Amino acid sequence: MNRKAKCGIVPRVEPVRPHGRRCAAGLAALLWSVAPVVAADSTGDGGYELGKGWQVPRTDLYLGGYASSDLGKEESQPWSLDVSHLSLFLWWQGDSRFRFFSETDLENAVTVQPRRTSSDGAYLALERLYADWTQSDAVNIRVGKFLTPVGRWNLIHAAPLVWTTSRPLITDTPFPTNATGAMLYGTLTGIGAGLDYSVYGSIGRELRPDPHLDTFNEAYGAHLSYPFLRSLQVGLSFVNFDQVHEPGERQNLVGVDACWSQGGYELSTELGWRFSYDGSKFDAKGGFVQGVAPVGGRFYAVGRYEYFHQPGDEPGVSLWLVGLDYRWSHALILKTEFSKAVDNRLQVPEGFLASVAVLF
Amino acid sequence: MRLRTALLRAAAGAVCLWPIAVAADSDAMAVIVAVDSRHRVESRDQLAEIYRRRKQFWSDGQRIDPVNLPAADPLRRRFSLAVMGALPEQLEAFWNEMYFHGVLPPQVLKSVEAVLRIVATTPGAIGYIPLCAADKRVAIALAIDSAGAAVDKEPGAVCPH
């Protein structure tokens, strides 16, 4: 989309030779006369709006991002206050079929605990860095580092977009959340209301791998998502992979996700099964069901049950969560939640969490 | 006598129905493209895909450039309900998700006249206006009523002022 012209910013004009002065003068006059009209037509006038990003003047470059801060009081732990995410999006979208997108995330920049403030856990993560080339709505090619298309949560995991501060285990524990490689994706608009698909492959060599994560050594996967009845989105995921820390231990992950939303109510679920080539004792499985309901004004009640069974003979962990959120605006949300685990051999954090998150 | 009665009944019926027909026409919305454009919209579903930015290219490869009216504009709200099945504020979560992937919502223009001007002069642009406001600067790609059903593309009423 040519937002440059619509925001009333005069497009760059190529240098002209002297004999083209009359033409250039005419063009300049035309641009001068058109630009204010176009600017007057637009409500934005090129200005900044929270949660809508900012276009660098006279370019097709956009800046945006999100920030979040968490206050936690886990059971048998002191309280802590984190600046958990300061994430910056930078993308370029011109009129051509080429597009570039990046997201860098400063994680845990500052942590405040009783009598201790530190930035020891700070890490600058490269969440996404890719180039897209578009042939049509149905055929897009992406190369670089992207979010692994498994389930729904991982693809929209930013704090202002999700209802809880904590994240269900099934959405990031059984697979690496990022992949570096190539992806073919698009929307098949000829199929009913439009089938979204992605097929991808990675041969490892993660771009700026997070040292805390066990990244893909090799992965091949696909994700399908289809909207039913306008208010229900259903997805299927599959990925065959092994990871850097266990090369050769091949695994298959199968997932189902669904999200229904209407009138402020939302019901969502993700279920996943990970099967290991090395035998069933290395399998993992889990899922969650989450409900959201408006309770007056901008307040929303949140409830979630999740279950996760890690590889081994130990029983799985069940985690119950209740929360109350205040959605100040589409770009700003305040969240509180309390969670309690049963059979918590995984030592999943449980207790009280609150956070504020803003999309900018 | 029978013929006269029938004619009187028909005339009375027409008088009674006329305000309804005018009201229906003034509620109708025209989805417009530039007058020299060959771009057309086949269905409401396709229109919804365009306005959700899930369909970004016309069949000839031209990038689609949808424009909107302000969220509080009554026409925008009728269009949003008819085409997307939700009011603008109910789509905020959807646009947050799209923004997270670097996809921005359609640009918002101030007025119907602004939509006419931009659509008439921007290749690939698409907008919506009251059907009665369509003029020779634009072509009507699709005409719909407030329920999203296709209606006759010919403007049949004068816009109320």
Predicted ipTM of the assembly:
0.85
Is B18 a member of any domain?
A: no
Residues of B in contact with A5 (CB under 8 A): 122
Given a cut of 70, whether residue A129 has pLDDT beyond it is yes
Beta carbons of B104 and A1 less than 8 Å apart: yes
Count chain A–chain B contacts defined by CB atoms under 8 A: 97
Would you say residue B106 lies in a domain? yes
Residue B8 lies in a domain: no
| Contacts for B103 with CB less than 8 Å, ≥ 6 apart | B53
What are the residue ranges spanned by the domains of chain A?
Answer: 1-47, 49-359
Is some CB atom of chain A closer than 8 A to the CB atom of B22? Answer: no
Q: pLDDT-based confidence at B148, cuts 50/70/90?
A: confident
Is B110–A40 a contact, with Cβ atoms under 8 angstroms apart?
yes
- The predicted pLDDT at position A282 comes to 84
Which chain B residue lies closest to A42 (C-alpha atoms)? B109
Judge whether B70 lies within some domain. yes
The verdict on A244 touching B (C-beta cutoff 8 Å) is no
- CATH architecture observed for domain A49-359: Beta Barrel (2.40)
Structural domain includes residue B139: yes
pLDDT of the residue at A314: 86
Angle, alpha carbons B134-B138-B140 (nearest 5°): 70
Flag whether residue A99 sits within 8 Å of chain B, measured between CB atoms.
yes
Inform me whether the pLDDT recorded for B141 exceeds 60: yes
Out of A6, A194, A331, name the one closest to residue B54 (CB).
A194
Comparing C-alpha atoms, which of A190, A157, A42 is closest to residue B104?
A42
Phi, psi of B108 (to 5 degrees): -100, 130
Strand partners, A254: A238, A273
Share of chain A above pLDDT 90, in %: 73
Entry field: residues in chain A: 360
Given this model, what pLDDT does residue B42 score?
A: 87
Range with lowest mean pLDDT among A48-57, B23-32, B75-84, B123-132: B23-32
Q: Check which CATH number belongs to the domain holding B71 and give it.
A: 3.40.190.10
Contacting residues of B for A265, CB less than 8 Å apart:
none
**Res B4: pLDDT:** 56
A93/B102 Cβ within 8 A: yes
Q: What is the pLDDT of residues A310-333, one digit of tens each?
A: 998 888 999 999 999 999 999 999
- Best mutation target among B100, B101, B129 (most A Cβ atoms within 10 Å) is B100
**Total number of domains in chain B:** 1
Average pLDDT, chain A: 88
The 10s digit of each residue's pLDDT in A281-310 is: 889 999 999 999 999 999 999 999 999 999
The 10s digit of each residue's pLDDT in A199-228 is 999 998 899 999 989 999 999 999 999 998
Answer with the residue of higher pLDDT: A26 or B51: B51
pLDDT-derived band at A77, boundaries 50, 70, 90: confident
Q: What is the pLDDT of residues A23-76, one digit of tens each?
A: 344 434 433 443 444 455 666 545 788 999 999 999 999 999 999 999 999 888
For B104, the closest of A53, A231, A263 (CB atoms) is A53
Cβ neighbour number for residue B117 with a 10 Å cutoff: 19
| B87 assigned to some structural domain | yes
